[in-house]
């Protein structure tokens, strides 16, 4: 049996090899044939899913909410200790020391990442800033967002927390975090299409068996998910989706 | 349901008799001390259909001053501050029972009589087409929004004869 395995396009480029390694080790452990799909953009991902060609997805939490509630996808696992967090940072020389120092009309650089933008908007609320109050500067990479903040071309930049912490020491020394989220309960999720739901047990077993195993742990380390995957129940997914729902407005 | 006793700090400045919708009451000891909202965090709880706490996250426990064991199984109004108007909670429950999402600014009472302000969003938990409980998620409000809510709640409480 062949399953199309799609990885959401928001992973760091250096993790690319890790996803291929995971695909290989999961095939070995499940006797399933997995065909890896790595769309370059959110639009490409949406098209692949809409075409009905995706069986297994490593989805960001916001897409997961839509896919579970509206398309019947089943959550089977999530990475342990890897919540989706974000950082709002400004240049080290900036006069701003907290989010509340940002003013209406401020410029904020961000990448095309819905999760980061939504959480960031919630973190701007203490400053009474809404989406319409900000001049958004869309950039291709987190490095570009960092450069703009460092040069003072924007008042702040939004980062996926992992991306922020992966910036070079030099870049971070020229930046000043205004706030970092600690939402804890919101993570990427592995989802299975309902037409192949009978494969859930096999895949959960294989994913949970990766941590500490000779062939699994190096893969997890390559993915930056050293603590491995934990099984996720339908209620775990529903709980997370309820949380997401509260953040949507 | 009888609430666990508060442990009022030395800075408590007033006592308030509170009566809740289930007929229970308590004497709340209140100070004017405001605790800062924990930066970057969400304060999360879940209740059953009767408003009994079934889940609280770490941020909820830390800021409330109660232990998790003291909170689970208690009615959500354990956090009710006497400065909050009854109308706010009536609106909350009416909105949730209509199956809708509720938003509002809330002044919550800590175990020691101090308080913290939140912007709360509550949603019904729908499972298999049935509402099985409610989730409430709080975020950090702006000072301007807090000032507006304080004024509005003062007026509402005056209208309620409090």
Q: Is B40 close to A179, i.e. CB distance below 8 A? A: yes
Residue B72 makes CB contacts below 8 A (sequence gap 6+) with: B53, B54, B55, B56
Q: Is A239 close to B135, i.e. CB distance below 8 A? A: yes
Task: Judge residue A77's burial from the number of C-beta atoms within 10 Å of its C-beta, 0-12 exposed, 13-18 middle, 19 or more buried.
Answer: buried
Of A122, A128, A246, the CB nearest to B144: A128
Q: In this predicted complex, what is the ipTM?
A: 0.89
Of A125, A128, A238, the CB nearest to B139: A125
Q: What is the C-alpha to C-alpha distance for residues A178 and A91, in angstroms, rounded to an integer? A: 10
Which tokens belong to A217?
């742990």
Give yes or no for B95 touching A (CB within 8 A).
no
CA triple A43-A203-B126, angle to 5 deg: 65
Task: Classify domain B45-159 at the CATH class level.
Answer: alpha beta
User: Looking at chain A from residue 24 to 63, which residues have their Cβ under 8 Å from any Cβ of chain B?
Assistant: none
Domains recognised in chain A with CATH numbers? 2-82+184-247 (3.40.190.10), 86-180 (3.40.190.10)
Alpha helix (H) ranges present in chain B? 58-64, 68-71, 86-97, 143-159
- Asked if residue B48 lies in contact with residue B133, where contact means CB atoms within 8 angstroms, the answer is yes
- Asked if residue A92 lies in contact with residue A174, where contact means CB atoms within 8 angstroms, the answer is yes
Q: What crossing angle do the helices spanning A114-124 and A234-247 adopt, rounded to 10°? A: 50
Tell me the HSE value of B136 on the side-chain side, using a 13 A CA sphere.
27
Q: pLDDT digits over B93-123, tens only?
A: 999 999 999 999 999 999 999 999 999 999 9
Q: What is the C-alpha to C-alpha distance for residues A150 and A159, in angstroms, rounded to an integer? A: 14
Question: What are the b/e assignments for B127-139, b being 16+ CB within 10 Å?
Answer: eeeeeebbbbbbb
Q: What is the C-alpha to C-alpha distance for residues A234 and A148, in angstroms, rounded to an integer? A: 42
Q: pLDDT digits over B122-156, tens only?
A: 999 999 889 999 999 999 999 999 999 999 999 99
- The bridge status of strand A74-79 relative to strand A229-231 is antiparallel
Q: Is B40 close to A182, i.e. CB distance below 8 A? A: yes
Q: pLDDT digits over A152-168, tens only?
A: 999 999 999 988 998 99
Substitution target from A246, A247, A248 for chain B, most B beta carbons within 10 A: A246
Find, among B136, B133, B100, the residue nearest to A243 by Cα.
Answer: B136
Chain B CB contacts of A128 under 8 Å are 142, 144-145
What's the pTM value of the predicted model, to 2 decimals? 0.90
Give yes or no for B100 touching A (CB within 8 A).
no
Band of residue B82 on the pLDDT scale cut at 50, 70, 90: very high
Of A126, A180, A243, the CB nearest to B137: A243
Of A183, A238, A245, the CB nearest to B42: A183
Q: What is the C-alpha to C-alpha distance for residues A31 and A21, in angstroms, rounded to an integer? A: 15
């Amino acid at each position: 049996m062949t399953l199309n395995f799609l990885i959401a396009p928001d992973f760091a480029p250096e993790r690319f090899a890790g996803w291929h390694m995971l695909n290989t080790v999961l095939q070995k452990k499940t006797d399933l044939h997995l065909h890896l799909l790595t769309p370059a953009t959110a639009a490409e991902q949406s098209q692949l899913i809409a075409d009905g060609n995706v069986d297994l997805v490593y989805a960001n939490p916001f897409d997961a909410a839509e896919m579970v509630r509206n398309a019947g996808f089943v959550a089977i696992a999530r990475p342990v200790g890897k919540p989706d967090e974000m950082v709002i940072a400004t240049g080290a020389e900036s006069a701003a020391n907290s989010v509340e120092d940002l003013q209406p009309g401020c410029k904020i650089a961000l990448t095309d990442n819905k999760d980061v933008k939504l959480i960031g908007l919630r973190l701007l609320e203490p400053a009474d800033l809404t989406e319409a109050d900000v001049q958004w500067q869309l950039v291709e990479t987190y490095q570009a967002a960092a450069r703009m903040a460092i040069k003072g071309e924007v008042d702040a930049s939004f980062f996926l927390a992992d991306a922020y912490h992966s910036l070079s020491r030099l870049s971070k020394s020229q930046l000043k975090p205004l706030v970092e989220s600690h939402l804890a309960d919101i993570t990427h999720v592995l989802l299975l299409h309902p037409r192949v739901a009978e494969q859930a047990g096999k895949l959960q077993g294989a994913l949970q068996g990766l941590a500490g195993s000779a062939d699994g742990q190096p893969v997890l380390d390559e993915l930056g998910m050293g603590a491995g995957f934990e099984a996720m129940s339908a209620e775990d997914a529903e709980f997370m989706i309820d949380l997401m729902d509260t953040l949507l407005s | 349901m009888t609430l666990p006793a508060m442990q009022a700090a030395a800075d408590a400045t007033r006592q308030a008799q509170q009566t809740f919708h289930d007929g229970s009451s308590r004497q709340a000891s209140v100070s004017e001390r405001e605790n800062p909202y924990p930066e970057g965090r969400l304060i999360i709880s879940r209740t059953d259909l009767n408003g009994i706490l079934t889940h609280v996250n770490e941020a909820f426990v830390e800021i409330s001053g109660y232990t998790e064991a003291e909170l689970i199984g208690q009615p959500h109004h354990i956090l009710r501050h006497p400065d909050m108007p009854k109308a706010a909670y009536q609106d909350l429950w009416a909105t949730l029972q209509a199956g809708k999402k509720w938003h509002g600014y809330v002044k919550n009472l800590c175990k020691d009589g101090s308080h913290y302000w939140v912007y709360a969003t509550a949603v019904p938990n729908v499972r298999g087409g049935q509402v099985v409980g409610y989730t409430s998620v709080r975020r950090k409000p702006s000072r301007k929004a807090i000032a507006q809510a304080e004024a509005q709640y003062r007026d509402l409480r005056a209208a309620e004869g409090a």
